[in-house]
Structure 1
Amino acid sequence: MDSGDILASLGVNGAAAAAHALSLPAEAYGNDAQLEVLWAMKAYNHAEVYFNLISSVEPTFLKLTKSDDMIYSKFREDFPDMDIKTLDPELLKSADAKEKWRPFCNQFEGIVEDFNYGTLLRLDCQKDYTEENTIFATRIQFFAIEIARNREGYNDVVHSARAKAKQQQDQC
């Protein structure tokens, strides 16, 4: 079932209740399967919107947050040599990586809304979100890497592919 169909089936009151539930702190819940489905749907919807955005607008012109300049400069200061074209999951998830990422992420508390919420991140920026090409990351990790990909031209291939496909479709 499409995530839009699931949300529509909740109705206005159900969707409002779901939105409220997602805004509560994690400590308010145990391992609730329904809540995990809602979080997964929210992360998927975010990924879908973002991919459509970089497909439709030249990524170098995108501004993802009001703090893009600060996020980018701090990211490249802390991770100057990170290969962002094709991410190695170990650079995000290993114990050593988590120790390096933690202070980076925490400096954005109060600056970037929901900085530590979970979101989906593409490993290879030239490909779409798929099970094999997706990792779960914090929102600030997503912003840092995707802002860098946009500014450094790595996401241009996604936009170019969509523009080329549209041009071919228009010619038919």
Structure 2
Amino acid sequence: MEQLTVANGVGAAELSMGADLLSRSADEYGNDEKVEMLWAVKAFEHAEVYFNLICSVDPKLLRLTPYDDKIYKEFRRLFPDLKLDILNEDEVKSDASKIKWRRFSEIYKNMENYNFGTLLRKDVREDYSEINSFIVIRIQFYAIELARNREGLNDEHFLKNIYDKDNFEP
């Protein structure tokens, strides 16, 4: 039987093994290339699913976690002026921001996968790509994307998808 290939030669069996590896403590690993590759594949899959969601469902109605309201409120309290339409990676990862993000993240340390590496789009108007993405931890992704959704910045993707479907002619 032919093996299902997911990405770059990584098949279903490898992904299953990777799930086991990724659930272990990070202290068990150095800079293992296979583990880094599995993290990259997992981050890309998450990004792909999320982008498909905001194109298919009104982003204002999306619930990303059971804690969306709390995450959004605390994010906007700590980062009231963070420009969300086009993120500056250096600003998000500056020393001053890291202190705030660390304090923010600690609130959610008991939330499953809060610190998983996750891709975040720089420019909200664009899809995920190598030049339009950078890695953050999952709770940062939730905070920023929840704000983008609630503040209407992801609406364009949903509306474009609706418009394209309405004007589809077979």
Structure-to-structure mapping, 1:1-172, within 5 angstroms = 3=6, 6-7=9-10, 9-11=11-13, 14-110=14-110, 112-168=111-167, 170-172=168-170
Report how far residue 132 of structure 1 moved.
Answer: 1.1
Per-residue deviation, residues 130-165 of structure 1 (Å, max 9, x unmatched): 111101001000000000111111000111122222
Q: CA–CA distance in 2 between the matches of 1:4 and 1:163?
A: 29
Root mean square deviation, CA, Å: 1.7
By how many angstroms is 1:85 displaced?
Answer: 1.2
**Structure 1 length-normalised TM:** 0.90
Matched residue SS, 1:115? coil
Q: Is the 8 A contact 1:126 1:158 kept in 2?
A: yes
> Aligned partner of 1:130: which letter?
S
Matched-pair contact (CA < 8 Å) for 2:54–2:154: yes
SS of match in other structure, 1:137: strand
Tell me, yes or no, if the aligned pair for 1:90 and 1:97 is still in contact at 8 Å.
no
- Paired residue type of 2:146: I
- Report how many residues are paired: 167
Displacement of 1:5 after TM fit?
7.6
**2:130 partner amino acid:** E
| Partner SS state of residue 66, structure 1 | coil
Distance of 2:48 and 2:32 partners within structure 1: 24
Q: Which amino acid aligns with 1:53?
A: L
List alignment gaps of at least 5 residues for structure 2: none
Amino acid in the other structure paired with 1:64: L
> Deviations along 1:102-136, whole A, 9 cap, x unmatched?
101111111x2111111000011111001111010
Deviation at 1:10, TM superposition (A): 4.0
Taking the aligned partners of 2:54 and 2:116, their CA distance within structure 1 comes to: 21
How far off its partner does 1:4 sit? Answer: 5.4
Specify every segment of 5 or more residues in structure 1 that has no aligned partner in the other structure, as ranges: none
Q: Provide the rounded CA distance (Å) in 2 between the counterparts of 1:69 and 1:114.
A: 18
SS of structure 2 residue aligned to 1:171: coil
Deviates more, 1:84-93 or 1:138-147: 84-93
Partner deviation per Cα, 1:64-96 (whole Å, 9 max, x = no partner): 000000000000110111111111112211222
Shift of 1:6: 4.1
Q: Which TM-score applies when normalising by structure 2?
A: 0.91
